[in-house]
Structure 1
Amino acid sequence: MTEGYDFTNRTALVTGAASGIGAACARWLDRNGIGKLVLIDRDGDGLGKLGLSCEVECHQADVADEGFWQSLEPKIDRLDHAVVNAGIGTGGRIADLDFAEWRRVMAINLDGAFLTLSTALRAMRKTGRGSAVVTASITGLKPVPGIGAYGVSKAAVAHMARIAAAENAGHGIRVNAIAPGGVDTAIWNSPDNEAQFAEHGREAVIAQMGKTTPRGRFATADELARDIGYLLSDASANVTGTVLTSDGGYTL
């Protein structure tokens, strides 16, 4: 193991784990010796296809369901790390956005993140150590027209992570957030992009979108998993309350 990246005998919780960044984090932790993974996603079938070698506990659930967390928390014997990752994307300008759509996004991206993080923090306090990473977005730092609900939800979770870091440093718990730019995940498979994908092919459209960044391409989920893994690991022992920008230079 690389120094600071040994997760032997530790337990990590990952939400949104069936695909994208969450699945990549689960695999990264597995490769780096994690003892047990607690994986949560609405896509139960996807959770069963990750091909992990460590002990795995899967829950098909909605992270915005308070009852789920109330039932899970007493069953958590130990928790060392958490990846607060589940989220959905949406389009629409604020003046035109339906309130029901606004609430749908906030319920998953913000309320679900709060329920996940608060549960994880209480579990970590039992052992007096731990680390959590919240998946925010560069759109929570840089205003991007047309995705108001998503951007606002991600700005909120980034600040939530910083507040949680201040509240829990004395408990031996670190909390950070990551703000990705464009990442090639299923979040782009939206109705807004279906026509372009059908006409030009998904790979070509994503490649063209990636050319708008200084790096010239979108990140992969595995690249983001390595960044998140660093923040979770002992290699970042002095890092807490930060929002790591990983955007290929998009905000330059």
Structure 2
Amino acid sequence: MQSQSEFSGRTALVTGAASGIGAATARWLDACGIGELILVDLDRPALDQLGLSCKFRPLGGDVSDPALWKLLERELTRLDYAVLNAGIATNGEITELDIASWRKTMAVNLDGMFLSLRTALRAMKKASSGAVVLTASVSGIKAAAGTAAYSASKAATIQLAKVAAAEAAKYGVRVNAIAPGGVDTGIWDRAEWFAPLVEQHGGRAEALAAMAKDATPLGRFASADEVAAQIGFLLSDVAATITGTCLVSDGGVSL
């Protein structure tokens, strides 16, 4: 964990903050002494249940809605860190994928990423400092059948981070991406195929362990807390010379 003094009195934005990696990152920043958190998620009530001790401002809304970011920009007085994590997962082979599903994925994962990134960079440009992390995925690096929309959106996220890093360096702002592989979050529970797997293996943890053993060279998935700490590293002063990179945290899947 980083020194509390590094984050003390500073402000961070976290999108997709109600669960999974976003919630874990909010808690990590809170534990590191962050001064204030601005939390964005569709599930507004869940933001109040994170158990945070720091000052926080919960915002319920769709990250792909320009009005949300227009409102925040108008009221934002300071921003030191941004963790742009909101996203959705979709499946389907290209020949079976309908345009509505494709557009919804791009709206949240790419339009939402652009809008939140633009807001963060505008605020940080005024202060001539800041650090941003975009949540991508190993799916944006390694192709897998049935993931066309999701993978395309995450590959674009990685490139967006690189372009943003090139543009923002001149005013002292760092931008990086992180590409997790399998992570133990609630996203698995929403997949129709997961329930039979849980039943087959006799429990959720056992099902995830079996999946990880087959899917990753390290034989395990990450926890949300582990990914949050890696995001925290990219935000921190320890990573002061790191920008425009994508930290791949996939247990070796992309090897």
* TM tier relative to shorter chain: over 0.9
TM-score (norm 1): 0.97
How many corresponding residue pairs?
252
Residues 14, 37 of structure 1: 8 Å contact kept: yes
Residue number in structure 2 paired with 1:214: 217
Structure 1 residue 202 displacement after superposition: 2.1
Q: Within 2, Cα distance between the matches of 1:68 and 1:221?
A: 26
Q: Within 1, Cα distance between the matches of 2:71 and 2:45?
A: 22
Residue number in structure 2 paired with 1:184: 184
Residues 4, 233 of structure 1: 8 Å contact kept: no
Structure 1 residue 144 displacement after superposition: 1.0
**Which ranges of structure 1 fall in alignment gaps of 5 or more residues?**
none
Residues 4, 234 of structure 1: 8 Å contact kept: no
Root-mean-square deviation over aligned CA pairs = 1.4
Asked if 1:143 is matched to 2:143, the reply is yes
Q: Within 2, Cα distance between the matches of 1:164 and 1:247?
A: 24
Asked if 1:203 is matched to 2:195, the reply is no
Residue number in structure 2 paired with 1:245: 248
Q: What letter is aligned with 1:207?
A: A
Residues 128, 173 of structure 2: 8 Å contact kept: yes
CA distances 1:11-55 after superposition (whole Å, capped 9, x unpaired): 000000000000000000011110000000011121111111111
Asked if 1:28 is matched to 2:8, the reply is no
Q: Map 1:33-182 to 2 at 5 A.
A: 33-182=33-182
Q: What letter is aligned with 2:87?
A: G
Q: Within 1, Cα distance between the matches of 2:249 and 2:5?
A: 20
Residues 4, 235 of structure 1: 8 Å contact kept: no
Q: Within 2, Cα distance between the matches of 1:153 and 1:187?
A: 17
Q: Within 1, Cα distance between the matches of 2:149 and 2:82?
A: 24
Q: Within 2, Cα distance between the matches of 1:89 and 1:235?
A: 32
Report the more deviating stretch, 120-129 or 202-211. 202-211
CA distances 1:99-142 after superposition (whole Å, capped 9, x unpaired): 10011111100110111100000011111100000000001000
Counterpart selection for 2:226 from 213, 219, 223: 223
Structure 1 residue 207 displacement after superposition: 1.2
Structure 1 residue 194 displacement after superposition: 3.0
Q: Within 1, Cα distance between the matches of 2:217 and 2:116?
A: 34
**Which ranges of structure 2 fall in alignment gaps of 5 or more residues?**
none
CA distances 1:55-108 after superposition (whole Å, capped 9, x unpaired): 100001110111111111110000000000000111101121111001111110
Give me the identity figure in percent. Answer: 56
TM-score (norm 2): 0.95
